[in-house]
Structure 1
Amino acid sequence: MQQILSLTDGPEVTLDQMLQTRDLRARNQRQWLVKHNMPLISLTLVVPGSIKYSSGAQYLFNTALHNIENTCHTHNFLIAAKQNFSTVCGYEALLSVQADAAQLKAICIELEEKHPLGRLWDIDIICPHKGIISRQTTEFNARPCLVCEEDAHACARSRKHSLLELIKVIEEKINAFQCCPK
């Protein structure tokens, strides 16, 4: 029998802890870009609320990392270096990849859009020469809301959906996939 995964079975974090983690992530990204001088995949998760380190988040992270590595392998992109980070503020990974940054971004967006859990992954591509490669520079649309499929940024700004509603939808997606991976 599968364990029911949750986004709420971990410790709460403060805003200060999240801001410190974001600063550390940016510093690590800069160091990796200098050290490896190749496009960088920065993987984090889309987990709303103040709990970032949970059984559901760990499953999401492991699934994302596995899929990113397989996708790179399928496209013959060499992962030159990889490091995972996990703290009370969540899970993240950095991967230096020998590939064209724009092409890497396109395949990662495709992965985010086609995988059943991909909408819950935040896969950033950072080029050592051009900086962050954004969705806006590609032919892909903005991310849809997890609940209603409208523009996610608009729903977030207006707080259209409650935190409990978002967590419920995410947990349902995670547990459905865990039960029957596609």
Structure 2
Amino acid sequence: MNAADMFAHGETPELDEVLLNRERRVKLIEELLRRFPKSCVVSLKCNIPGPIKSNGEILALFGYGENRIHKILSNQGWRPNYQKRLNLRTGPEAFWVIPEDSFEVKRNMILFEEETLGRLFDADVLDQKDGLVRTRSRVEFGYEPRRCLICDQDARICASRRLHPVPMLQQRLIRLLEENAEELEKDGSAR
């Protein structure tokens, strides 16, 4: 993977595509939880700053995250009832239906997100409670909110207020990938 190329070219979705895909994602998760009511869903996405959301480098990075999730599931002895990967203009996504307690699954996804390269992913865990879809939160586990790559403050606040210029975030992401190139290559997905 040539990290510097990650933001040089690729798919740039329009806002309406992003919003439509968000709706489709919600519907897919709702359908999966209807089909598998005693399971939870893991939804994986990349955290990519800027307008480009899909290209070869982003797909390679996503492959790394996908492989890490597969390893976590395997190490825990969890066998998905269903899995799906989507390569979309809005960015790659993957879904797993895990017939396990969402609390334990989320705990493992938090550990993944706390890894150096795991910071570049959102590994959401969703289940049903009283017939309603809920997203399991880091706060339930006593974890602090995810930290910003630039200033180490609450990432949601920095993102919502756009406190850091996109090029600065992109440079930080490139540096993170370059510093961890061996980890990406070891995994075998980022060639």
Partner of 2:179, secondary structure, is helix
List aligned pairs for 1:40-79, cutoff 5 A. 40-79=41-80
In 2 relative to 1, CA 108–92 (structure 1 residues): closer, same or farther, beyond 3 Å?
same
Alpha-carbon distance in 1 for matches of 2:6, 2:86: 20
Deviation at 1:52, TM superposition (A): 0.6
Question: Which range is displaced more, 165-174 or 99-108?
Answer: 165-174
Q: In the alignment, which residue of structure 1 is the partner of 2:162?
A: 159
CA deviations 1:89-113 (Å, max 9, x no partner) are 1100110012110010011001110
Q: In the alignment, which residue of structure 2 is the partner of 1:126?
A: 126
Give aligned pairs, total.
Answer: 180
Partner of 2:107, secondary structure, is helix
Q: In the alignment, which residue of structure 2 is the partner of 1:20?
A: 20
Q: In the alignment, which residue of structure 2 is the partner of 1:136?
A: 139
Deviation at 1:140, TM superposition (A): 1.0
CA deviations 1:120-160 (Å, max 9, x no partner) are 10011011336211112221110000112111122223322
Residue type of the partner of 1:43? L
Alpha-carbon distance in 2 for matches of 1:106, 1:91: 23
Alpha-carbon distance in 2 for matches of 1:56, 1:176: 16
The 8 Å contact of residues 2 and 57 in structure 2, kept in 1 or not, is answered as: no
Structure 1 outlier segments of 4+, above 3 Å = 2-5, 179-182
Alpha-carbon distance in 2 for matches of 1:120, 1:180: 14
The 8 Å contact of residues 78 and 99 in structure 1, kept in 2 or not, is answered as: no
Identity of aligned residues (%): 24
The 8 Å contact of residues 82 and 93 in structure 1, kept in 2 or not, is answered as: yes
Please provide the CA RMSD for this pair: 1.7
Residue type of the partner of 1:71? I
Q: In the alignment, which residue of structure 2 is the partner of 1:30?
A: 30
Q: 2:173 aligns with which of 149, 164, 170?
A: 170
Alpha-carbon distance in 1 for matches of 2:162, 2:171: 16
Q: In the alignment, which residue of structure 1 is the partner of 2:189?
A: none
Residue type of the partner of 2:112? L
Output the TM-score relative to the length of structure 2.
0.87
Alpha-carbon distance in 2 for matches of 1:70, 1:171: 25
Alpha-carbon distance in 1 for matches of 2:91, 2:45: 8
Q: In the alignment, which residue of structure 1 is the partner of 2:148?
A: 145
In 2 relative to 1, CA 167–3 (structure 1 residues): closer, same or farther, beyond 3 Å?
closer
Residue type of the partner of 2:154? D
Output the TM-score relative to the length of structure 1.
0.91
Partner of 1:128, secondary structure, is strand
Alpha-carbon distance in 1 for matches of 2:97, 2:147: 28
